[in-house]
Amino acid sequence: MVKYSSLLIKKKMHKRSLCSEKNIYFDSVLKLYEFLSRKNVSKFSFLIFKLLKSPSSKKMSVSLSRLICIAKKNTNKIIVVVGKILNDERMVTIPAIRICSLKITESAKKKVLEAGGSFITFSQLAYNNPRGNHVFLIKKSNCLKKTTKRYLKKE
């Protein structure tokens, strides 16, 4: 008879599940980009899926002033933010920009629509542009976070 010690028994590793949110739209967009990341050749849909799947602490909030700086450099492109867009009271004039984001504040939405800009959803972006041509994706860098600065600090 062979005795098994506790060291020989391996535990099963559990992968992160897709979504635990109760928002039906967010769940359907997540499943859509999961399908596109498997079937599509481009890395764009995989990056969007990865950012949508990430926890809310990694999703970024972007001000309108940063969006305007990006829009000046990248004209005729759709700016994609996987997160929230916030209003900036300092900005008086805004160019017409096309934005795709998860959430946007009412005041920021009002400013962009008055300037002649437009908003599209992630499902419209997947339908019209699945490969990500003429799209500028804003990603959050990990070095900006205070917790990562603490661990990267040299002693």
Walk me through the domains of the chain, giving residue ranges and CATH numbers. Answer: 57-152 (3.100.10.10)
Stronger pLDDT, 131 or 146, i.e. the higher one: 131
Lowest mean pLDDT among 2-11, 43-52, 95-104: 2-11
pLDDT at res. 109: 93
Q: What is the DSSP letter of 2?
A: P
- β-partners of residue 61 are 84
* pLDDT in the model for residue 114: 93
pLDDT of residue 149: 60
Q: What is the largest CA-CA distance in the chain?
A: 81
| pLDDT in the model for residue 40 | 78
Residue 127 has pLDDT above 80, yes or no: yes
User: In the predicted model, what is the mean pLDDT of the chain?
Assistant: 81
pLDDT value, residue 116: 93
Q: Rounded to whole angstroms, how far apart are CA atoms 145 and 82?
A: 17
Considering only residues 133 and 1, tell me which one the structure prediction assigns the higher pLDDT.
Answer: 133
Say what percent of the chain tops pLDDT 70: 76
Contact by Cβ (8 Å): 91, 65:
yes
